[in-house]
């Protein structure tokens, strides 16, 4: 696969990711929850993530800044990995996977770096405004927009004999994510499922 095609994958995912986030941010109040096509197990549920995956955060006044800077450094490394893999003619499995991971990581970085500057606050009573005169944050302190929710099982209950959580209720699948998160997950999934093909010995160096 050529570098142009790999970059095209990245750009297309970034466009879809950012268009979907901006639409949700400017049309939904915070924690608004609606079914898609009447399906209770497929919902649009608008939340904002201030930290890492699964809502985890780095404590301290500079935790968010540290996380954002780490993401930027990581994206730089992934970008070089993509460039090097294309030039060395590695498998399309690997190149597509890296492209997906790069696009996803970059998509969430855009939120973290810029959203605090271009939006005002979202709240349960207020829909955010794009390019607001009263932005909610500063550079590197934006919140990541999440919206896809698949509560396939909403009234599950662990059996009494189950360790730790025995007898407790649970929801499956209770994560809320976005297009960027999905791209990262698919990229990692391809690497895991097609590991041998992805990391097969390259056929030669690409000169064009």
Which residue among the candidates 17, 111, 120, 181 is catalytic per the annotation? 181
Separation CA 199–CA 193 (nearest Å): 12
Q: For residue 33, list its beta bridge partners.
A: 45
User: 148, 175 in Cβ contact below 8 A?
Assistant: no
Helix H, strand E, coil C: the string for 84-122 is HHHHCCCCHHHHHHHHHHHHHHHHHHHHHHHHHHHECCC
Active site residue 33: no
Clarify whether 181 is annotated catalytic. Answer: yes
What is the rounded (10 degree) CA torsion for 185, 186, 191, 197?
180
* Torsion region of 178: left, alpha or beta (phi above 0 gives left; psi -120 to 50 gives alpha): beta
Length of the chain: 208
> Which residue in 17, 111, 120, 146 is the catalytic one?
146
Query: Catalytic site residues?
Result: 146, 181
């Amino acid at each position: 696969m050529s570098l142009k095609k790999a970059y095209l994958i990245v750009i297309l995912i970034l466009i879809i990711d950012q268009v979907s986030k901006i639409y949700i941010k400017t049309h939904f109040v915070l924690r608004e929850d609606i079914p898609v096509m009447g399906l209770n197990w497929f919902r649009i549920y608008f939340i904002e993530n201030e930290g890492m995956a699964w809502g985890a955060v780095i404590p301290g006044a500079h935790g968010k800044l540290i996380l954002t800077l780490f993401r930027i450094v990581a994206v730089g490394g992934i970008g070089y990995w993509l460039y090097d893999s294309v030039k060395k003619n590695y498998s399309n499995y690997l190149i597509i996977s890296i492209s997906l991971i790069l696009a996803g990581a970059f998509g969430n970085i855009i939120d973290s770096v810029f959203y605090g500057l271009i939006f005002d606050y979202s709240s349960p009573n207020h829909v955010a405004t794009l390019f607001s005169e009263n932005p909610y944050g500063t550079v590197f302190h934006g919140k990541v927009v999440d919206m896809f929710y698949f509560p396939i099982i909403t009234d599950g209950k662990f059996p009494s004999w189950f360790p730790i959580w025995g007898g407790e209720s649970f929801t499956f699948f209770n994560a809320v994510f976005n297009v960027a998160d999905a791209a990262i997950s698919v990229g990692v999934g391809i690497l895991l499922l097609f590991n041998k093909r992805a990391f097969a010995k390259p056929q030669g160096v690409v000169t064009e």
